[in-house]
Amino acid sequence: MLEEIVIAGFGGQGVMSMGQLLAYAGMLENKQVAWIPSYGPEMRGGTANCAVTISNTEISSPLVTEPSVCIVMNKPSLDKFEPTIKTGGLLFVNTSLIDAKPKREDISIYEIPANAIANEIGNSKVANMVMLGAVLEVIKAIEPESILESLRKVLPPQRHNLIPLNAQALQKGAEMVR
């Protein structure tokens, strides 16, 4: 198993933390993982992206130039990363913020209204977790429970009350692609 995942969106959409949670969860499952952020001026107000590699064997290069999975949270990210996806790869599109249709026909496309679903369950901030739920349901590389376990480890105790909401978001996202 080797998944090379790119996650992209506006700064503030939880793009970086989504990637970190994936990497953390992979580590908890004893998989090899790496997380690389875009850094610099573009993260200040502009687009942000990160790459996560999850593998059963040693990761040769943590740099992802031809992702097997791409998650785009806004339009500029769709434009930038759709062309880079590997043939046969997966593209997850946040249709709440992206009207445009992807053009590629050699990849599988999943359209998730992540912000709308997040608002339905009461908190727009978990749109990233809705997306992640959908991704995990399709790629099966990481158990959703490992994501929740990661949250328990990285969140300070006073914020553990947010974990059920995140669990619900993962669940709703997964339902969208079943």
Partner 1 sequence: MNKVLMKGNEALAEAAVRAGCRYFFGYPITPQTELPQYLSKRMPEIGGVFLQAESEIAAINMVYGASGAGARVMTSSSSPGISLKAEGISYIAGAELPCVIVNMMRGGPGLGTIQPAQGDYFQATKGGGHGDYKLLVLAPASVQEAVDLTIQAFDLADKYRNPVMILGDGILGQMMEPVEFKLTENNELPVKEWATTGKKGRKKNIINSLYLQAEKLEQHVNRLADKFGEMEAKEQKAETYLTDDAEILLAAYGTTSRVCRKAVDMAREEGIKAGLFRPISLWPFPEYALQQVLGRVKGILTVEMSLGQMIEDVRLAVNGKVPTDFYGRVGGMVPTSRDVLEKIVAFREVL
By beta-carbon proximity to partner 1, the closer residue of 32 and 95 is: 32
By beta-carbon proximity to partner 1, the closer residue of 32 and 119 is: 32
Q: How far is the CB of 113 from partner 1 (least distance, A)?
A: 30
Tell me the β-bridge partners of 70. Answer: 6, 91
Q: How far is the CB of 177 from partner 1 (least distance, A)?
A: 27
- The encoded tokens of residue 115 equal 């912000």
Could you list the residues that contact partner 1 (CB under 8 A)? 20, 23-24, 27, 30, 32-37, 39-41, 59-63, 65-66
By beta-carbon proximity to partner 1, the closer residue of 101 and 153 is: 153
By beta-carbon proximity to partner 1, the closer residue of 32 and 124 is: 32
Residue type, 90: L
How far is it, in rounded angstroms, from Cα 124 to Cα 13? 9
By beta-carbon proximity to partner 1, the closer residue of 75 and 86 is: 86
The burial of 27, by beta-carbon neighbours within 10 Å (0-12 exposed, 13-18 middle, 19 or more buried), is given as: middle
Q: How far is the CB of 26 from partner 1 (least distance, A)?
A: 9
Q: How far is the CB of 42 from partner 1 (least distance, A)?
A: 10
